[in-house]
Amino acid sequence: MKSLIECIPNVSEGRREEVVARLAESAVKAAPGVLLLDRTSDADHNRSVFTYLGDGPSLLTGMSALVGAALEAIDLGTHRGAHPRIGAVDVVPFVPVRNATTADCVALAKQLGRHLAERYGLPVYLYEDAATAPDRQNLANIRKGEFEGLAAKMEDPAWKPDFGPASPHPKGGATVVGARAPLIAYNVNLATEDLAVADRIAKAIRHLSGGYRFVKAMGVKLEARGQVQVSINMTNPEKTPLHRVFETVKSEAERHGVAVVGSEIVGLVPAQALFSAASHFLRLEADPGPQVLENKLLDLAFASEAE
Protein backbone atom coordinates (compact mmCIF):
# COMPACT_ATOMS: atom_id res chain seq x y z
CA MET A 1 0.00 0.00 0.00
CA LYS A 2 1.31 3.43 -0.96
CA SER A 3 1.66 6.45 1.26
CA LEU A 4 -1.71 7.45 2.73
CA ILE A 5 -2.45 11.01 3.77
CA GLU A 6 -5.72 12.39 5.06
CA CYS A 7 -6.82 15.84 3.93
CA ILE A 8 -9.75 17.55 5.65
CA PRO A 9 -10.74 20.82 3.94
CA ASN A 10 -13.30 22.95 5.77
CA VAL A 11 -15.51 24.78 3.30
CA SER A 12 -17.74 27.81 4.03
CA GLU A 13 -21.00 26.31 2.72
CA GLY A 14 -23.27 24.08 4.77
CA ARG A 15 -26.79 24.93 3.56
CA ARG A 16 -27.02 24.44 -0.22
CA GLU A 17 -26.79 20.66 -0.46
CA GLU A 18 -26.31 20.59 -4.25
CA VAL A 19 -23.38 23.01 -3.96
CA VAL A 20 -21.80 20.99 -1.13
CA ALA A 21 -22.15 17.76 -3.12
CA ARG A 22 -20.61 19.34 -6.21
CA LEU A 23 -17.68 20.76 -4.23
CA ALA A 24 -17.03 17.45 -2.48
CA GLU A 25 -16.99 15.61 -5.80
CA SER A 26 -14.80 18.18 -7.58
CA ALA A 27 -11.62 16.88 -5.93
CA VAL A 28 -12.41 13.26 -6.79
CA LYS A 29 -13.24 14.09 -10.42
CA ALA A 30 -9.99 15.98 -10.86
CA ALA A 31 -7.88 13.30 -9.15
CA PRO A 32 -9.24 9.74 -9.33
CA GLY A 33 -6.58 8.63 -6.80
CA VAL A 34 -8.39 10.71 -4.16
CA LEU A 35 -11.08 9.01 -2.10
CA LEU A 36 -13.85 10.93 -0.34
CA LEU A 37 -14.16 9.16 3.02
CA ASP A 38 -16.71 11.41 4.65
CA ARG A 39 -18.55 14.69 4.41
CA THR A 40 -20.48 16.49 7.11
CA SER A 41 -22.39 19.75 6.82
CA ASP A 42 -23.81 21.99 9.50
CA ALA A 43 -26.48 24.53 8.59
CA ASP A 44 -25.95 26.65 11.72
CA HIS A 45 -22.21 26.74 11.14
CA ASN A 46 -22.92 27.13 7.39
CA ARG A 47 -19.85 25.00 6.90
CA SER A 48 -18.89 21.58 5.57
CA VAL A 49 -16.02 19.29 6.42
CA PHE A 50 -14.76 16.89 3.73
CA THR A 51 -12.38 14.05 4.51
CA TYR A 52 -10.22 12.77 1.67
CA LEU A 53 -7.60 10.05 1.56
CA GLY A 54 -4.84 9.75 -1.02
CA ASP A 55 -1.16 10.18 -1.71
CA GLY A 56 0.52 13.60 -1.95
CA PRO A 57 0.36 14.25 -5.72
CA SER A 58 -3.31 13.17 -5.99
CA LEU A 59 -4.34 15.32 -3.05
CA LEU A 60 -2.53 18.32 -4.54
CA THR A 61 -4.50 18.01 -7.80
CA GLY A 62 -7.76 17.37 -5.93
CA MET A 63 -7.43 20.33 -3.55
CA SER A 64 -6.58 22.66 -6.40
CA ALA A 65 -9.81 21.65 -8.14
CA LEU A 66 -11.83 22.01 -4.93
CA VAL A 67 -10.54 25.54 -4.32
CA GLY A 68 -11.29 26.50 -7.93
CA ALA A 69 -14.86 25.23 -7.62
CA ALA A 70 -15.36 26.92 -4.23
CA LEU A 71 -14.17 30.31 -5.51
CA GLU A 72 -16.92 30.13 -8.14
CA ALA A 73 -19.70 28.86 -5.87
CA ILE A 74 -19.13 30.77 -2.62
CA ASP A 75 -19.11 34.51 -1.95
CA LEU A 76 -17.90 35.30 1.55
CA GLY A 77 -19.31 38.83 1.15
CA THR A 78 -22.81 37.39 1.64
CA HIS A 79 -21.93 34.27 3.67
CA ARG A 80 -23.32 34.11 7.23
CA GLY A 81 -22.72 31.32 9.74
CA ALA A 82 -22.05 30.66 13.43
CA HIS A 83 -18.52 29.35 12.80
CA PRO A 84 -15.62 31.79 12.32
CA ARG A 85 -14.01 31.75 8.84
CA ILE A 86 -11.71 33.77 6.59
CA GLY A 87 -11.97 31.74 3.41
CA ALA A 88 -14.38 30.08 0.97
CA VAL A 89 -12.11 27.10 1.50
CA ASP A 90 -11.24 28.09 5.04
CA VAL A 91 -8.69 25.51 6.23
CA VAL A 92 -6.88 22.64 4.52
CA PRO A 93 -4.96 20.40 6.94
CA PHE A 94 -2.93 17.36 5.88
CA VAL A 95 -2.61 14.47 8.35
CA PRO A 96 -0.29 11.44 8.02
CA VAL A 97 -2.18 8.09 8.14
CA ARG A 98 0.10 5.24 6.95
CA ASN A 99 3.59 5.31 5.40
CA ALA A 100 3.71 9.12 5.67
CA THR A 101 5.32 11.53 8.14
CA THR A 102 4.51 14.97 9.48
CA ALA A 103 7.44 16.26 7.39
CA ASP A 104 5.77 14.85 4.24
CA CYS A 105 2.60 16.71 5.16
CA VAL A 106 4.44 19.98 5.84
CA ALA A 107 6.08 19.77 2.40
CA LEU A 108 2.71 19.05 0.82
CA ALA A 109 1.09 22.04 2.59
CA LYS A 110 3.78 24.38 1.28
CA GLN A 111 3.42 23.00 -2.26
CA LEU A 112 -0.34 23.51 -2.15
CA GLY A 113 -0.02 27.01 -0.66
CA ARG A 114 2.35 28.17 -3.41
CA HIS A 115 0.12 26.62 -6.09
CA LEU A 116 -3.11 28.25 -4.83
CA ALA A 117 -1.45 31.68 -4.73
CA GLU A 118 -0.09 31.32 -8.26
CA ARG A 119 -3.18 29.80 -9.88
CA TYR A 120 -5.99 31.69 -8.13
CA GLY A 121 -4.26 34.79 -6.72
CA LEU A 122 -5.37 33.58 -3.30
CA PRO A 123 -3.56 34.69 -0.12
CA VAL A 124 -2.46 31.62 1.87
CA TYR A 125 -1.36 31.26 5.51
CA LEU A 126 0.54 28.20 6.74
CA TYR A 127 -0.47 26.89 10.21
CA GLU A 128 0.24 24.23 12.85
CA ASP A 129 3.29 22.11 11.97
CA ALA A 130 3.75 24.06 8.71
CA ALA A 131 3.63 27.51 10.40
CA THR A 132 6.40 29.99 9.57
CA ALA A 133 6.04 31.88 12.87
CA PRO A 134 4.93 30.86 16.37
CA ASP A 135 1.86 33.11 16.34
CA ARG A 136 0.70 31.40 13.14
CA GLN A 137 0.60 27.91 14.67
CA ASN A 138 -2.81 28.47 16.20
CA LEU A 139 -5.63 28.68 13.65
CA ALA A 140 -7.67 30.95 15.92
CA ASN A 141 -4.92 33.64 15.76
CA ILE A 142 -4.90 33.60 11.97
CA ARG A 143 -8.68 33.63 11.77
CA LYS A 144 -9.18 36.40 14.35
CA GLY A 145 -11.18 39.26 12.77
CA GLU A 146 -12.63 36.84 10.23
CA PHE A 147 -13.23 37.62 6.55
CA GLU A 148 -14.75 40.97 7.43
CA GLY A 149 -11.57 42.15 9.19
CA LEU A 150 -9.08 40.51 6.81
CA ALA A 151 -8.24 43.46 4.57
CA ALA A 152 -7.31 45.61 7.57
CA LYS A 153 -5.41 42.75 9.26
CA MET A 154 -3.29 42.16 6.13
CA GLU A 155 -2.07 45.76 6.19
CA ASP A 156 -0.10 44.80 9.31
CA PRO A 157 3.29 43.42 8.08
CA ALA A 158 3.05 40.78 10.84
CA TRP A 159 0.06 39.31 9.01
CA LYS A 160 1.45 39.29 5.48
CA PRO A 161 0.36 35.96 3.98
CA ASP A 162 2.94 33.18 3.43
CA PHE A 163 1.97 33.03 -0.24
CA GLY A 164 -0.01 35.33 -2.55
CA PRO A 165 -1.12 38.96 -2.32
CA ALA A 166 -1.51 40.92 0.92
CA SER A 167 -5.17 41.57 0.16
CA PRO A 168 -8.16 39.20 0.44
CA HIS A 169 -9.57 37.45 -2.62
CA PRO A 170 -12.85 39.38 -3.22
CA LYS A 171 -15.11 36.30 -2.89
CA GLY A 172 -12.81 33.73 -1.36
CA GLY A 173 -10.87 35.64 1.33
CA ALA A 174 -7.78 33.64 2.27
CA THR A 175 -7.04 29.97 2.86
CA VAL A 176 -5.12 28.46 5.75
CA VAL A 177 -3.10 25.37 4.81
CA GLY A 178 -1.08 23.16 7.12
CA ALA A 179 -0.04 19.84 8.59
CA ARG A 180 -1.11 18.46 11.91
CA ALA A 181 -1.65 15.31 13.96
CA PRO A 182 -5.09 13.64 13.84
CA LEU A 183 -7.66 15.88 15.52
CA ILE A 184 -11.18 15.18 16.69
CA ALA A 185 -13.84 17.81 16.08
CA TYR A 186 -16.26 17.18 18.93
CA ASN A 187 -19.36 19.14 19.93
CA VAL A 188 -21.40 18.91 23.11
CA ASN A 189 -24.97 20.21 22.86
CA LEU A 190 -26.65 21.86 25.83
CA ALA A 191 -30.32 22.19 26.80
CA THR A 192 -30.33 25.97 26.85
CA GLU A 193 -30.44 28.87 24.40
CA ASP A 194 -28.08 30.92 26.58
CA LEU A 195 -24.84 31.31 24.64
CA ALA A 196 -23.11 32.64 27.77
CA VAL A 197 -23.32 29.18 29.35
CA ALA A 198 -21.59 27.53 26.37
CA ASP A 199 -18.97 30.28 26.34
CA ARG A 200 -18.21 29.85 30.04
CA ILE A 201 -17.87 26.08 29.67
CA ALA A 202 -15.65 26.52 26.60
CA LYS A 203 -13.48 28.85 28.66
CA ALA A 204 -13.28 26.27 31.45
CA ILE A 205 -11.96 23.49 29.24
CA ARG A 206 -9.74 25.23 26.71
CA HIS A 207 -5.99 25.48 27.07
CA LEU A 208 -5.82 29.23 26.36
CA SER A 209 -7.84 30.11 29.46
CA GLY A 210 -6.59 27.47 31.92
CA GLY A 211 -8.22 24.27 30.69
CA TYR A 212 -6.87 21.09 29.19
CA ARG A 213 -3.54 21.19 27.32
CA PHE A 214 -4.91 19.86 24.00
CA VAL A 215 -8.37 21.45 23.86
CA LYS A 216 -9.61 24.36 21.79
CA ALA A 217 -13.23 25.34 22.40
CA MET A 218 -15.83 28.01 21.82
CA GLY A 219 -19.54 28.50 22.41
CA VAL A 220 -21.78 28.35 19.33
CA LYS A 221 -25.49 29.12 19.03
CA LEU A 222 -27.56 26.46 17.22
CA GLU A 223 -30.50 28.52 15.97
CA ALA A 224 -32.18 25.59 14.21
CA ARG A 225 -32.21 23.50 17.39
CA GLY A 226 -32.84 26.27 19.88
CA GLN A 227 -29.76 25.12 21.79
CA VAL A 228 -26.17 26.13 22.33
CA GLN A 229 -23.08 24.04 21.78
CA VAL A 230 -19.59 23.77 23.15
CA SER A 231 -17.66 23.30 19.91
CA ILE A 232 -14.37 21.55 20.63
CA ASN A 233 -11.19 20.65 18.81
CA MET A 234 -9.31 17.85 20.55
CA THR A 235 -5.80 18.35 19.16
CA ASN A 236 -4.19 15.37 20.92
CA PRO A 237 -6.89 12.90 21.94
CA GLU A 238 -4.29 10.48 23.32
CA LYS A 239 -3.11 12.95 25.93
CA THR A 240 -6.38 14.81 26.49
CA PRO A 241 -9.05 12.14 25.93
CA LEU A 242 -12.68 12.59 24.87
CA HIS A 243 -14.18 11.12 28.01
CA ARG A 244 -12.35 13.49 30.35
CA VAL A 245 -13.44 16.55 28.39
CA PHE A 246 -17.02 15.27 28.15
CA GLU A 247 -17.18 14.68 31.92
CA THR A 248 -15.83 18.17 32.60
CA VAL A 249 -18.35 19.78 30.24
CA LYS A 250 -21.13 17.81 31.96
CA SER A 251 -19.97 18.86 35.42
CA GLU A 252 -19.63 22.52 34.42
CA ALA A 253 -23.06 22.43 32.75
CA GLU A 254 -24.63 20.99 35.91
CA ARG A 255 -23.17 23.90 37.85
CA HIS A 256 -25.30 26.15 35.62
CA GLY A 257 -28.34 23.90 36.00
CA VAL A 258 -28.11 22.89 32.34
CA ALA A 259 -28.36 19.34 30.98
CA VAL A 260 -26.13 17.83 28.30
CA VAL A 261 -28.47 16.87 25.44
CA GLY A 262 -25.91 14.90 23.48
CA SER A 263 -22.60 15.11 21.72
CA GLU A 264 -21.38 14.67 18.16
CA ILE A 265 -18.20 13.90 16.31
CA VAL A 266 -17.68 15.90 13.11
CA GLY A 267 -15.82 14.10 10.35
CA LEU A 268 -13.67 11.11 11.12
CA VAL A 269 -12.40 9.80 14.44
CA PRO A 270 -9.52 7.40 15.18
CA ALA A 271 -10.90 4.13 16.57
CA GLN A 272 -8.52 4.28 19.53
CA ALA A 273 -10.19 7.46 20.85
CA LEU A 274 -13.49 5.59 21.18
CA PHE A 275 -11.78 2.50 22.61
CA SER A 276 -10.23 4.73 25.29
CA ALA A 277 -13.62 6.21 26.16
CA ALA A 278 -15.20 2.75 26.41
CA SER A 279 -12.25 1.59 28.48
CA HIS A 280 -12.63 4.48 30.91
CA PHE A 281 -16.32 4.09 31.53
CA LEU A 282 -16.25 0.27 31.65
CA ARG A 283 -13.17 0.45 33.94
CA LEU A 284 -11.31 -1.99 31.69
CA GLU A 285 -8.10 -3.15 33.37
CA ALA A 286 -6.20 -3.29 30.05
CA ASP A 287 -6.21 -1.22 26.85
CA PRO A 288 -8.68 -3.11 24.62
CA GLY A 289 -6.97 -2.02 21.36
CA PRO A 290 -4.83 -5.17 20.95
CA GLN A 291 -7.95 -7.34 21.50
CA VAL A 292 -10.07 -5.71 18.81
CA LEU A 293 -10.75 -8.14 15.95
CA GLU A 294 -10.81 -5.39 13.32
CA ASN A 295 -7.35 -4.18 14.40
CA LYS A 296 -6.02 -7.68 13.72
CA LEU A 297 -7.68 -7.71 10.30
CA LEU A 298 -6.25 -4.28 9.49
CA ASP A 299 -2.74 -5.37 10.47
CA LEU A 300 -3.12 -8.44 8.24
CA ALA A 301 -4.47 -6.45 5.30
CA PHE A 302 -1.68 -3.89 5.41
CA ALA A 303 1.07 -6.39 6.28
CA SER A 304 0.23 -8.50 3.23
CA GLU A 305 0.61 -5.47 0.98
CA ALA A 306 3.90 -4.25 2.46
CA GLU A 307 6.75 -3.86 0.01
Annotated active-site residue in 45, 83, 115, 169: 83
| CB of residue 182 to its own copies, shortest distance in Å | 8
Residue type, 179: A
CA dihedral over 144, 176, 271, 17, signed as positive or negative: positive
CA 76 → CA 25, 94, 140, distances in Å? 21, 24, 18
Under the binding rule (CB under 8 A), the answer on residue 294 touching its own copies is: yes
| Binding test (CB under 8 A) with its own copies, winner from 10, 41, 189, 227 | 189
83 among known catalytic residues: yes
In terms of Cβ atoms closer than 10 Å to its own Cβ (0-12, 13-18, 19+), residue 49 is: buried
Binding segment for its own copies (CB under 8 A), chosen from 103-111, 131-139, 157-165, 291-299, is 291-299
Residues 9-48, one symbol each (x = binds its own copies by CB under 8 A, - = not), give --------------------------x-xx----------
Is 188 within 8 Å of 205 (Cβ atoms)? Answer: no
CA 162 → CA 31, 37, 67, 174, distances in Å? 26, 29, 17, 11
Under the binding rule (CB under 8 A), the answer on residue 270 touching its own copies is: yes
| CB of residue 52 to its own copies, shortest distance in Å | 11
| CB of residue 266 to its own copies, shortest distance in Å | 9
| Binding test (CB under 8 A) with its own copies, winner from 30, 43, 97, 107 | 97
Alpha carbons within 13 A on the beta-carbon side of 228: 21
Under the binding rule (CB under 8 A), the answer on residue 141 touching its own copies is: no
C-alpha 9/C-alpha 109 separation (Å) is 12
Under the binding rule (CB under 8 A), the answer on residue 303 touching its own copies is: no
Residue type, 106: V
Give the total residue count for the chain. 307
| Binding test (CB under 8 A) with its own copies, winner from 30, 166, 195, 261 | 261
Under the binding rule (CB under 8 A), the answer on residue 271 touching its own copies is: yes
Alpha carbons within 13 A on the beta-carbon side of 40: 14
What are the residues binding its own copies (CB under 8 A)? 1, 4, 6, 35, 37-38, 53, 97-98, 182, 189, 242-243, 246, 260-265, 267-271, 274-275, 277-286, 288, 290-298, 300-302, 305
**Residues recognised as catalytic:** 83
